[in-house]
Amino acid sequence: MERSPEKERNAGRTREAILVAAEHLFAERGYDATSLTDVGGAAGVSRGTPGYFFGSKEQLYRDVLERCLERVRAAV
């Protein structure tokens, strides 16, 4: 049975979806009120997937901040 392209595993796309969801949730709710489970749900992945990719909420937050800073650097 062949998988449809949108159902295929794609680590880069999954990581990006997690970062986008986390950025939105951290901005909206704050760090303390956002869980990795929340991020997984918002990204459309299992609740453990953000932890698999980033290890911890702290590391995910750092990566979100770095991503934001990269956009600022590129604009300047």
CA dihedral 72, 25, 55, 66 (to 10 degrees): 10
Is it the case that residue 72 has pLDDT exceeding 60? yes
Residues 15-39 pLDDT 10s: 999 999 999 999 999 999 999 999 9
d(CA 64, CA 21): 10
d(CA 21, CA 40): 8
Is it the case that residue 4 has pLDDT exceeding 60? no
- Confidence (pTM): 0.85
Tell me if 40 sits within 8 A of 47, measured CB to CB: yes
